[in-house]
Amino acid sequence: WVSGHQVLTLACLPNHRSMNPCPVYERESKTLFVFFICVPIGVSEQDQIQAKKNQARLCYITSQDTGKTWSVVTDLKDVISEKEKNWATFGIGPGHGVQMKSSRLIIPAYVYYFDSRTEPTSYAFTFYSDDKGSTWHLGKCVDGESNECHMAEIIDDKGNSELYCNARSISGHRVEALSECNGEAFDKPSSTCKLIETGKGCEGSVLSFAPDQATEKTWLLYCHPTNPSKRASLGVYLNKSPLDASKWEDPKLIIYDGPSGYSDLAHCGDGKHFACLMECGEI
């Protein structure tokens, strides 16, 4: 970075490591939240899944001066305490959250759920807040196996809003689902399998934007490795009719043709420019 970087030493719990950052900006209070999970040092995701015992904690820090200073960490253990008896583990993002037209804040998440009849299986869901981040609630899981996810608000030409979920999967294609209730529950995932998953799966980023400032109607951008067998050739896809999963176009651009994996898209606000934070290796 040209101007250096800031290490967020407050974004942690003692004897834990911080993972899966998920920033979201609350417009009215001008508060920047950075959510993350904290996991005991030495405990892996697979350790928790095999033991069927969640050890991840949901935490956040905030800034009200665009990142110059930060609050102490808040541990939201009470939000998950009633649910985690059936959680092997959970995660959020990683990648940005969403503030919807209704002002609801959305943190994309996934959980490895199990019960007396089933082994842990991952499902995408939301953490959401309707009071500027003071209290948080859990939405219902997407129907069917789904993992790390990104979400975006789709607004149609009549101004109606739906929340779109795009999730990693082991099925060979991405899981796409829509919510008409702002993320409290999702419809059955689309049976259109146009967006392929790569290899054993990889996180992908999705972003909605209005191509014309004269209307609220939004399109979707999606970023993910385009190679079907390995994490390589990071590409960007466009859907001009985002309520229809069959309308995804072939990749408009290959951002990086070598080894590449996780990414996060951002809209620069002028309608024309976008940014992509990505991981990549040497060709």
How many domains are contained in the chain?
A: 1
pLDDT above 70 coverage of the chain, percent: 98
Max Cα-Cα span within the chain: 54
CATH code of the domain in which 247 resides: 2.120.10.10
- Residue 258: inside a domain: yes
* pLDDT tens-digit readout, 134-181: 999 999 999 999 999 999 999 999 999 999 999 999 999 999 999 999
- Residue 234: inside a domain: yes
Instruction: Report pLDDT for 3.
Output: 65
- The answer, yes or no, to whether residue 1 has pLDDT greater than 60, is no
Sign of CA dihedral 176, 88, 100, 6: negative
- Residue 55: inside a domain: no
- CA 190 to chain centroid, in Å, comes to 18
- Residue 59: inside a domain: no
- Residue 61: inside a domain: no
Gap between the Cα atoms of 131 and 129, Å rounded? 6
**Measuring CA to CA, how many Å separate 36 from each of 18, 90, 159, 187, 279?**
6, 11, 32, 27, 19
Provide the 10 A C-beta neighbour count for residue 193: 17
- The answer, yes or no, to whether residue 4 has pLDDT greater than 70, is no
* pLDDT tens-digit readout, 24-55: 999 999 999 999 999 999 999 999 999 999 99
Gap between the Cα atoms of 185 and 45, Å rounded? 26
**Rounded mean pLDDT of the chain?**
95
- Residue 16: inside a domain: no
204 lies in which domain range?
81-280
Provide the 10 A C-beta neighbour count for residue 75: 13
* pLDDT tens-digit readout, 191-249: 888 999 999 999 999 999 999 878 899 999 999 999 999 999 999 999 999 999 999 99
The residues, ordered by sequence, that sit 6+ positions from 131 with a Cβ below 8 Å of its Cβ are none
Can you read off the two tokens belonging to residue 92?
């959020």
Gap between the Cα atoms of 282 and 81, Å rounded? 43
- Residue 9: inside a domain: no
- Residue 103: inside a domain: yes
